Each structure stands twice: as C-alpha cells, then as structure tokens.
C-alpha cells in the first residue's frame, strides 16, 4: 500500500537493460526474474518461516536456518528504508566496481574478470579469512537493471542488482588453499517520492528508498556452524548500515539520480 502510493518520478529514467545479447543473457534474465519475484514476497506473513535476528531503526533482518550436507546456508532477507536517496543511486554504488573497496569491509581483493556488457560484469573476490576456517573466494556475475512498472505506469520505479555465482576458466575453484563459495544475492530498490505541495522542485527531503536485500551463501566447504552464524549476524547488519551511509554520503551534494 505504502509503496504503491509513491508518486511518479518526474524525470524519465534511463531505458531498461539495453538489448545486447551475450552468452549469459538467458541465464541472467531467468535468475533476475526469479530473484526479483522472491525479493518482492513479504516476510511478515505467518508461516513464512523468517525469523527476525537484527533490528536497527528502519532496518530489519530475517533468516531461515537451513543446512545442506551439514553446511549452513541460511537464507537472509533484509528490509530497510533510507531517506534522501533513490533506488538508482543505491544500485549504482552496489554494482560499480570503483566503489567496492569503499564499503565492502570483508574484501581482501577484488577484480573484474570480464565485462560482458554495460550492465553485466563478472567479478573475482577474495575475502578475509575467518578463523579457524580456510579463506574463501568467489566468482560471480553481477547485473544491474531498471525494471519498468507495468502494473501502474505512474508507480514507483524499481532498480535491482543481482549477483550470481558462475564459473570462469581463469579462476578455477579447486586450486590453491582457498575454498570457493557460492552465492545468490538480490538487491531490490524502490524510490518513494512525496512531491512538495507547493509545486517546488523535488529535493532529497522528499525522497526515500525502500531496500530489500536477499542473500544465500553456501560456504562451499567445512566451516563451524556456530562461527558462521555468529559471523553473518555481525557482518550483514554492519554491511547494510555502512553501505547505505556510504550512498547517502556519496549522493548528498550531487543531483538526484532518478
Ligand atoms: O552483497 C554483498 N556484497 C557483494 C559485493 O561484494 C557481493 C558479495 C558477497 C560476498 C558474501 C560472502 C562473503 C563471505 C566471506 C567471508 C566473510 C569474512 C568476514 C570477515 C570478518 C573478519 O554480493 C554484501 C555482503 C555482506 C557480507 C556479509 C558476510 C556474510 C557471511 C556469510 C558466511 C560466509 C561463509 C564463510 C565461511 C568461512
């Protein structure tokens, strides 16, 4: 209800994903469609199995305890509302490699393995080691997309970034002493605009962004369940607070990116 009451953004946003075909097109489209549908499902309804584990201001984080072959793969779903920024801005800073080291505190190294298209990149990331487990790395494609609002032409615009593990011949998972992790991450953002009544131009005081962040990380090999759960309970809230503060700070003296 609250989201649908948001007004149209007054500036025509960039077009939806350019129609460039590549070897990941079909997979990206399928995963994005599925992840966006999942992200849009609420956490509130009875019987969904989501347990609240962290709360701070508008931020709520839920998890479902789940194990596969004895490994903790607890799905995470977080919701947050942040004033003064748009969904396009949030997705831009999350997707773009040049900002990654600024906000991602678990990184030891990151590089772009392949530029598939303007909206699709393949990343390699080496993360900090968590004692007593082996160090982890990951190869994933990352895709940014503006979703048209087909139900309501004047409804809020939605931006998303989806990250999905993939394979790359230059980064085989079975070499060296690092363990490959597998992830699926979806960041979904809706911009809510409350236009000033006097017809004044829209300022950052009139906008907010509803963020949904969903993630499933398979640790890929042995890691003690208690350590893993303790780590994500600390790291996910830290990430979402730090990252959104970063976007606010980066955006504050720039024109609003609708
Ligand atoms: O979505 C996020 N970041 C994106 C861009 O980097 C991307 C990457 C996600 C990587 C998430 C897995 C990283 C786990 C590596 C180990 C963590 C080291 C902690 C260091 C403490 C000294 O999608 C934001 C990601 C926010 C990360 C929260 C941490 C989640 C931990 C999950 C457990 C991983 C299993 C580790 C097994 C030892």
State the ipTM, two decimals. Answer: 0.96
Mean pLDDT of 139-153: 85
Rounded to the nearest 10 degrees, what angle do helices 225-251 and 87-95 cross at? Answer: 120
Residue 227 CA, closest ligand 1 atom number = 38
Domain boundaries of the chain, sorted by first residue: 59-195+203-251
Lowest mean pLDDT among 15-24, 43-52, 95-104, 167-176: 15-24
Pocket lining: 71 vs ligand 1, CB cutoff 6 Å: no
Mean pLDDT of 67-84: 96
Pocket lining: 133 vs ligand 1, CB cutoff 6 Å: yes
CATH value of 59-195+203-251 in 3.40.50.1820, 1.20.58.100, 3.40.50.9100, 3.30.530.20: 3.30.530.20
Q: Which two tokens stand for residue 247?
A: 């976007």
Q: Which letter does DSSP use for residue 15 in this model?
A: P
Going by alpha carbons, the residue nearest to atom 32 of ligand 1 is: 232
- pLDDT for 46 equals 54
Q: Which letter does DSSP use for residue 205 in this model?
A: G
Q: How far apart are CA 146 and CA 59, in angstroms?
A: 23
Q: For residue 20, give Cα distances in angstroms to 117, 118, 147, 179, 229.
A: 7, 9, 16, 33, 40
CA of 183 to the centre of ligand 1 (A): 9
Ligand 1 pocket mutation, candidates 59, 109, 127, criterion most atoms within 8 A of CB: 127
Coil vs helix vs strand at 204? helix
- Chain segment 168-220, per-residue pLDDT in tens: 999 998 877 899 999 999 999 999 999 888 989 999 999 999 999 999 999 99
- pLDDT for 208 equals 97
The residue assigned the tokens 């831009």 is 92
| Percentage of residues in the chain having pLDDT higher than 90 | 78
State the pTM of this model.
0.91
Q: Which two tokens stand for residue 93?
A: 């800073």
């Amino acid at each position: 209800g609250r989201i649908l009451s948001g007004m149209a953004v007054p500036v025509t946003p960039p077009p939806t994903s350019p129609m460039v075909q590549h070897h990941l097109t079909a997979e990206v489209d399928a995963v994005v469609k599925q992840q966006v549908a999942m992200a849009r499902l609420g956490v509130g309804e009875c019987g969904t199995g989501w347990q609240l584990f962290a709360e701070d201001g508008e931020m709520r984080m839920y998890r479902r305890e789940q194990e596969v072959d004895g490994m903790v793969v607890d799905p995470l779903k977080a919701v947050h509302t942040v004033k003064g920024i748009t969904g396009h801005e949030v997705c831009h800073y999350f997707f773009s490699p040049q900002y990654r080291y600024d906000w991602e505190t678990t990184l030891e190294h990151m590089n772009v393995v392949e530029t598939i298209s303007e909206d699709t990149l393949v990343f390699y990331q080496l993360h900090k080691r968590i004692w007593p487990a082996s160090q982890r790395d990951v190869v994933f494609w990352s895709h940014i997309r503006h979703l048209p609002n087909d139900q309501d032409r004047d409804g809020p615009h939605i931006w998303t970034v989806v990250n999905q593990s993939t394979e790359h011949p230059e980064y085989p998972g079975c070499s060296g002493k690092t363990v490959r992790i597998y992830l699926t991450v979806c960041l979904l953002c809706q911009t809510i605009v409350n236009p000033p009544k006097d017809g004044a131009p829209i300022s950052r005081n009139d906008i907010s962004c509803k963020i949904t962040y969903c993630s499933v990380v398979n640790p890929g090999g042995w890691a003690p369940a208690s350590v893993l759960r303790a780590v994500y309970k600390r790291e996910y809230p830290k990430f979402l607070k730090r990252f959104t503060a970063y976007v606010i700070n980066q955006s504050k003296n720039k024109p609003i990116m609708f």
